[in-house]
Chains A and B, each alone.
Chain A
Amino acid sequence: MSWHVAPDLLRAYARGEADHAAASSLEAHVIHCPGCRQEVAAHCDRQGLERVWGEIRNAVEAPPSGPIETLLVRLGLADHRARLLAATPSLGASWLVSVALSLGFAAFAAQQEERGLMAFLVLAALLPLAGVAAAYGPGIDPSYEIGVAAPMSSFRLILVRASTVLASTAALAALAALTLPRVGWMAAAWIVPSLALTVLSLALATFMPPILASGFVALIWGSIVIVTTRVTDNGLVAFGPGAQIGLLGLAAASVLVLAFRRDSFDLGSHV
């Protein structure tokens, strides 16, 4: 082989300024010519090459993400936050479809009679609570113990997951509420209870496993709804203005407890 890379072409290639035909010719040549390969390597930006190589490996070797993670990244979330959320059991496609179907049936029932409206409100308030219960904790998160031993704050992780689950479930509930007959502000009467019950369950989760805390809150609130319905003969009293104010107060108190006891999530005391 008599032809070798000319110094001008070599410098132009290293700067990324060689035209396509010349660059292809050079690349074909250096495969078989150790001398020219060494010359080209000496002129190329090593850091730049490593960066490009890293990107190529990421594109080829990093496996494609699931649909939820891909959607979150497309919505603008940083890839590491999207992966944290993708590991949330109650953000999976099957969970969200189940929530959507449940709310759809409840909204349909609400169009038939007043009891149906109460069923919809109760369900819309409890579903975020169930979602948060299924977002984090021993027995729920498969890698819970590994997560507790990691430096990322468990409190931060549970807040990120809980707020995302709350937002996604609330969005589905809001869509379902749009299909309700003309019931005025009662169509949104589930919002404060869902928020208050979720925050209360998180506050209680500083004392017991999250799944138990959510179950306890759901049981107590469900009992209150049933008792007030029987006593007052008004199925919607648990969603009335007085109840809403009381639940807001409960939510505020729960936030204080949560802030005061947030360290308990990091102690792994529920393992």
Chain B
Amino acid sequence: MSVTAIEIVDVEKRFLRTYALRSVSLDIGSGITGFLGPNGAGKTTLLRILATVLAPDAGRLRLFGLDPARTGDRLAIRRRLGYMPQEPGFHRHFTAFEFVDYVAILKEMTDRRVRHDEVRRVLELVGLEDVMGRKLKALSGGMRRRVALAQALLGEPELVVLDEPTAGLDPEQRLRFREIVSVLAERRTVVLSTHQTEDVAALCERVVVLNEGEIPFVGTPSELAALARGAVWLADERGPAAQLSWRTGEGRHRNIGSAPELAELVEPTLEDGYLMLLGTRPREEVGR
């Protein structure tokens, strides 16, 4: 059983009158935990709280048993943390090397040689060794995303918080990302949010679904998929009882809902379970 690295009890966060998180409780151990949810569900707010850049309005939060509201504890947490925000900003006049080096300095690495070795290591890890001398403004969006991932890996942090790490990556880069993160998570706690259900299915030991600031589901990817068992079927036309239905590339309709008798049931995917759980039309961010 994994050790609890993150303990969240009745955490709330409001922006003016709008609740971003409502009484959220969750324990997260080592390995990879993925957050799924529609836009505005509260994923980014929760990850920012875990990254100590945002304080909750109410509730109890412990990271490695430490309280981020206390100055000394917060510093100790940040020394064990790597964070990739949803929209990482860049000093565009910096090269990839200079930017990661700058973050390494913020992470208290002052010895030039040790720091440069570490910067090279993380840039090589994300496959950017050939472009480390290029200005950030000259890099593609996917490459800049990998630079942001590289800075989060500096110093081999015990807790890695990644907000939408695969957004903007091409399929090859996403596979590379999965390889990096899966190796990383062998000894650490990795928390990530994504709109890509394939990433969650391929990577995460545990999935947390957030919706309107609440957590309607916590479990394994196969448990989430199982929510739609017996409720996914293929037919030549849209099923009248289907909550959701779309025409597949093979010309048949994939239906989710109360399956009619003698329906051609198929094994549900994680995405089917997610859609079944939220019980709404397919959202654009849950692409196939």
A interface residues with partner B (beta carbon < 8 Å): 51, 54-55, 57-58, 61-63, 65-66, 78-80, 83-84, 86-87, 92, 141-152, 157, 263, 266-269, 271
Known: A144-B89, A145-B89. A80 touches B105 (CB 8 A): yes
* 4 closest cross-chain pairs (CB), A and B: A142-B89, A150-B106, A268-B53, A149-B83
Q: Is the CB of A146 within 8 A of B98?
A: no
Q: Is the CB of A151 within 8 A of B107?
A: yes
Tally of contact residues, B, Cβ under 8 A: 42
Known: A58-B112, A146-B106, A268-B52. 8 other contacts (CB 8 A): A54-B116, A80-B115, A83-B98, A145-B89, A146-B83, A150-B107, A151-B78, A157-B106
CA distance A115 to B173 in the complex (A): 62
Most buried by A among B51, B81, B98, B117: B98
Judged by a CB distance under 8 angstroms, whether B74 is at the interface is: yes
Q: Is the CB of B97 within 8 A of A63?
A: yes
Known: A146-B85, A266-B74, A268-B53. A66 touches B93 (CB 8 A): yes
CB distance from B12 to the nearest CB of A (A): 16
Judged by a CB distance under 8 angstroms, whether B146 is at the interface is: no
Scoring B residues 122 to 150 as 1 if CB is less than 8 Å from chain A, else 0, what string do you get?
A: 00000000001100000000000000000
Which chain B residues lie closer than 8 Å to A147 at the CB level? 106
Indicate which residue in B74, B90, B106, B112 contacts A142 across the interface (CB closer than 8 Å).
Answer: B90
B50 closest partner in A (C-beta): A149
Q: Is the CB of B95 within 8 A of A63?
A: yes
Which chain B residues lie closer than 8 Å to A152 at the CB level? 105-108
Which chain B residues lie closer than 8 Å to A51 at the CB level? 113
| 20 cross-chain CB contacts under 8 A | A54-B117, A57-B120, A58-B113, A61-B120, A62-B97, A66-B93, A80-B112, A84-B105, A142-B90, A145-B53, A145-B89, A146-B85, A146-B89, A147-B106, A150-B78, A151-B75, A151-B79, A151-B107, A266-B71, A268-B48
Which chain B residues lie closer than 8 Å to A271 at the CB level? 48, 53-54
Which chain B residues lie closer than 8 Å to A142 at the CB level? 89-92
Scoring B residues 211 to 228 as 1 if CB is less than 8 Å from chain A, else 0, what string do you get?
A: 000000000000000000
CB distance from A125 to the nearest CB of B (A): 29
Which chain B residues lie closer than 8 Å to A267 at the CB level? 55
Judged by a CB distance under 8 angstroms, whether B101 is at the interface is: yes
Most buried by B among A84, A141, A142, A143: A143
Which chain B residues lie closer than 8 Å to A143 at the CB level? 88-91, 99, 102-103
Q: Is the CB of A83 within 8 A of B102?
A: yes
Known: A143-B88, A145-B53, A146-B106. A62 touches B116 (CB 8 A): yes
CA distance A151 to B78 in the complex (A): 5
Q: Is the CB of B94 within 8 A of A87?
A: yes
Which chain B residues lie closer than 8 Å to A62 at the CB level? 97, 101, 116
B90 closest partner in A (C-beta): A142
CA distance A57 to B120 in the complex (A): 10
Judged by a CB distance under 8 angstroms, whether B166 is at the interface is: no
Which B31-82 residues sit within 8 Å CB-CB of chain A? 48, 51-55, 71, 74-75, 78-79, 81
Which chain B residues lie closer than 8 Å to A141 at the CB level? 89
Which chain A residues lie closer than 8 Å to B94 at the CB level? 86-87
Judged by a CB distance under 8 angstroms, whether B110 is at the interface is: yes
